[in-house]
Amino acid sequence: MTPRVGIIYPTYNGPESYRDITRCFETLVKLNYPRDCVEIICVENPSSHGASIPFIEKEWMLRVGIDFPKLTTRYNPKDIGYSGANNVGLEIAIEHGCDYVFLLNQDSDTDPDFLKTVVDRAESDKNIMFVQSLLLLGQDKNRVNSIGNRYHFLGHGYAGGYGWTKDQADSFFNDERKTNPDLIVPYFTGAAVLVRVEMAKKIGLFDTPFYMYHEDVDATFNARVHGWKTVIEPSSIVYHYYAFSRSIKKFYWMERNRIMVDLSYYKLPTLILIAVPFFCVEAASILFAFRSGWWREKLRSWAFFFQPSTWKWIAQRRNRIQSERVIGDREFLKWATSKILFQESGHEGDGAEGIQKDAGGFIMSKIANPVLTFMWNVIYFLIRW
């Protein structure tokens, strides 16, 4: 029996939305998966630019059952972010009897076989919760956006393989299978990933207060501490018209949420061991933030942790996670990296190019990263729990 899949497609209306949605939906017309087993679930947060749902319903509902799968739309009365929108989509998928959901970014388009191949991969191993597609750049379809994201032990995340050619990615996967036959990734990118609904019903998908950024880290880690796998399927291809930042405000969520993840998952001895490099990097990052113009967002992220409600949230998350985990930190952190890297922004302005310059500069590449690598090797050696 063919598994039923809900493709959760969060929309947020903006100047490029009509183009992005039309481009993506036209590729879904060519989807190589039984039409009666697929449902497109559009969930939209409010926007000052208006709404996309009306034109989606006007132009695409008429094509349902002809050349387009079943289409469900939901307009949220308030902005609950990327995390919340996907959680709403998951609720709809569960109500409609879906076995899997596939999270797909608005600014993406797809290969006809992208869904079939990730479902086949998930069906081959019942211990898999997440299967990421190989994400290529929509702007240059021979270049990689993500082969699975990389996670720094201090909480920073970045796209693995960014800018590689497709041939380089294929070569990497061939070599990686020798020591990592499942192609487990440190964490998935939420732009294109299959989720097993049975597992999501048990532990949830995203924590809605994350709003955006690092919700994919959190979800991967939540699955990992329960002993479940997050893998990539290279034969499933999605194209992402990627731009790192359209607003400097996003740095607040990135900084806030990465610290939240560390405080939630690391055992207390691990938090003590990483304290020195953590505070050193935090001190350096505020200097970078002033130079790049996002210091207000950095300070705002710190201020968040001086609120009593924040520590109540941390305590609730941490108690649940630590009580449910089935693996220790040594196993959990074997996928962490020790270097802070940064890919191209894909955008001018908004501080993104300043961040890129800092992360790729002499101090970071020649001093900070080698020191952090040495420190992480010592710390990881000491982690025995």
**Tally of CA atoms within 13 A in the half-sphere of 30 that contains its CB:** 10
Query: Of 308, 18, 45, 288, which Cα lies nearest the Cα of 156?
Result: 288
CB burial readout 121-155, b (16+ within 10 A) else e: bbeeeeebbbbbbbbbbbeeeebbbbbbbbbbbbb
pLDDT at 245 (0 to 100): 52
CA distances from 14 to 11, 80, 93 (A): 9, 17, 26
Handedness of CA 71, 34, 89, 220 (dihedral sign): negative
Question: Would you give per-residue pLDDT tens digits along the chain (385 residues)?
Answer: 899 999 999 998 888 999 999 999 999 999 999 999 999 999 999 988 889 999 999 999 999 989 999 999 999 999 999 999 999 999 999 999 999 999 999 999 999 999 999 999 999 999 999 999 999 999 999 999 999 999 999 999 999 999 999 999 999 999 999 999 999 999 999 999 999 999 999 999 999 999 999 999 999 999 999 999 999 999 999 999 987 555 567 889 999 999 999 999 999 999 999 999 999 999 988 988 888 888 999 999 999 999 999 999 999 999 999 999 999 999 999 999 998 776 554 444 444 454 445 455 666 777 788 999 999 999 999 999 9
What does the block give as tokens for 339? 């270097």
State the Cα–Cα distance between residues 154 and 156, nearest whole angstrom: 6
pLDDT at 47 (0 to 100): 87
Token pair 């055992």 in the structure block, residue: 267
Q: Which residues pair with 7 in a beta bridge?
A: 40, 102
| SS3 call for 150 | strand
pLDDT at 366 (0 to 100): 74
What domains appear along the chain, each with residue ranges and CATH number?
Answer: 5-240 (3.90.550.60), 251-382 (no CATH)
Token pair 């349902």 in the structure block, residue: 64
- pTM: predicted TM-score of the whole model, two decimal places: 0.92
Strands 157-159 and 70-75, by their bridges, are unpaired
